Structure 1
Amino acid sequence: SDIQFHEYLDYFAEDENTTVAIVYIEGLQEGRQFIEALRRVALRKPVVIYKSGRTSAGMSSAKSHTGALAGDYAVHEGVLRQAGAVLVRRSDQVLSIAEAMSLLQPLRSRRIAVLADGGGHATIAADLLTEHGLSLASLSADTQKRLAQILPPAAAVANPIDVAGGTDARPALFADCARILIEDDAVDGLLIAGLYGGYGVRFSESLTPDEVETSDRIAALHREFGKPVMVYSLYANLRGELLPAPLTRIRQGGVPVYGSLEVAVGCLAALAEYGEIRRRPVREIGQRAGRVTAFDDILKTCRREGRSVVLEHEARQALAAAGLRLPPAHLARDADAAVAAFEALGRVAVAMKVVSRDIIHKSDAGGVALNVASAGRAREAFASIIAAGEKSVPGARIAGVLVTPMAAKG
């Protein structure tokens, strides 16, 4: 196709009918343009990305059917997240997360209140929230007191909340509790978990009108307070006429409803991540600065020498040229230079590491010496490192030994 990924992104950013962009990626031919477009678009709309090729088998598949080079997943993940993408690792969560992000505001932080009609639902939700990097909001004493006043004595009013049967005959208590929780400044989002929406099915059809009205009241809360509200219900997987009316009603009111607690919590985590993206200083996700010349020079050297490895001292030079502050380091090409480097660093304890395109795992090759604390020891360590490298990898092309100060303990 003549249309590239970054051009699609820019188009969807301007499309008034698009609230969330979903992108499936195997590999990128115009990576720099895509990242620049992603930085721009993420400031305006969520961009949900599913990146395949996480394994060697997936990378081979991508190459065989499209010719795409999937590349290292960890590198892609880091770059895409920095540029403002919300990455999804489960394909069955892509649409659910996009739906939640199209309906709800981003979370202000990661503090969630759980309102459940069973201890099991509450406990599972607590585990999942923690595993997804979210936290249970610490409710104020006033909030807990207000909850205790309307719920049965057996109810748990410290987050997660277990209504302990209090809603079995009075589903409207869900809305009463939800308002109390949403009004707490320590709560950024609300997860309702359990049988909600199915009380007319489980207990009595006479409860359905009460649940429908309750759905209207809960849906109004997220619009009033701007805090995300999400529902996990055991009845959400029913379809067509079997889907309880209260769940249809609350979804029509803009509250996502899911039949999987894992999916619901994954959606909350995505809302938290996008909230953090939106709160970053603009300079972090704004237009990328031009690439420094030192970086291009190093790549040219690598190509000229036919190597795919950037040596440590070269990487340090490029990072320093880009403005990063790094501890001082000296590349010693002989023993006298190693001693001079030790002296130049203030005669503090140093680390010494072999620099070679052929010796990647330095420690395994005996190419590292730590806590070198004297000029004589620096001279000995240089000789030892070179000898060990040549023995471990015969014919290794050794550029020298990098001398750097030891990091402080702690």
Structure 2
Amino acid sequence: MKLATLRRRAETLPGVSGVARLDRATTRLAGRLNPGDVAIIDHVDLDRATAETLLAARPAAIVNAQPCISGRYPNLGPELVVAHGVPLLDNVGGEVFAAVKEGAKVRVDGDTVYVGETPIASGTVQDADTVETLMAEAKAGLASQLEAFAVNTGEFMTGERRLLLEGEGIPALTTRMRGKHVLVVMRSHEYASDLKALKSYIREYRPVLVGVDGGADALIEAGHTPDLIVGDMDAVSDTALATGAEVVVHAYPDGRAPGLLRVQDLGVPAVTFPTAGTSEDVALLLADEGEAELIVAVGSHADLTEFLDRGRAGMASSFLVRLKIGAKLVDAATVTRLYRNRISAAALLLLVIGALVAVAAALAVSDAGRTYLTTLSDDVGRFFDWLQDSFS
């Protein structure tokens, strides 16, 4: 009786409740987040790609130990979270990781996180109005971010000029790309809709399919099998790694590759690619070095705002990698528009009319065809006579 009373009492408490899932590595957390859980993260300047990954699991609420918008630049994640109606509480402090155990039942009410009826952390509630205000203030930080971006770009060019200019350090692959289209998939902005729109393109051109970390799972969800998996291996499933795809583990410039041990434990052969760039850059450089005819990017970063949104010095490498690859690299949305419009409705109509004319001409010049047309004409005449008699 006492337990039932406590349950009824818990159900009447305000706010939203759920099982707590905690991890300072947000991409790792997303892999075990279930619908209705409360995600507790440690992510300053929540970017759009991470927000999309979290929202895909349909959490009851998101609690951030750090500020979701620090003011350095207008990052896009918080805006997406509040637009989906998911409660967002940030700046609660790192102590929440010690106060809450994985799997515990927690409740978020206003600016406070509770375990039972005991408050254990408090922060700032973010909604559409507060996010809009913070985003407006953050735009003032773009100038300094651009300066930092320029400095990071120069440092990357100095440190890895041989990689960019001579291809030094790029591992040899068994996956053949020469003269082929290569589709590089990142599990980021609008990746699912892009893959759906590209289904006919993939069926006709049969591009080499490259999944960047969770992009491999995105390919599988869309009904495809990746040919190559690239990344840190922190956001790709064991199922994807077991598909038989060739695996390239992104390593630090000094050669350390934390994700390699996991791949080896699964018995999957892999090679490493040391670079200060991002896993996305690794995939693009591999396709370019493999002499791909065209590289189509799904879920990539297309403009300056999206580059800065990731909030990492390594994004400077993405800028230089794109300069190196040049016109060979196109965005999935561009391919979708061009491929969809390649055959117009008018052209299809003319094709059908031409086929009908050809059939009619073939029937008219043959004895069997003339007999068939005469019989068809008689049948049509009798049908119209029947109609006339029925309504007279």
Q: What TM-score, normalized to structure 1?
A: 0.28
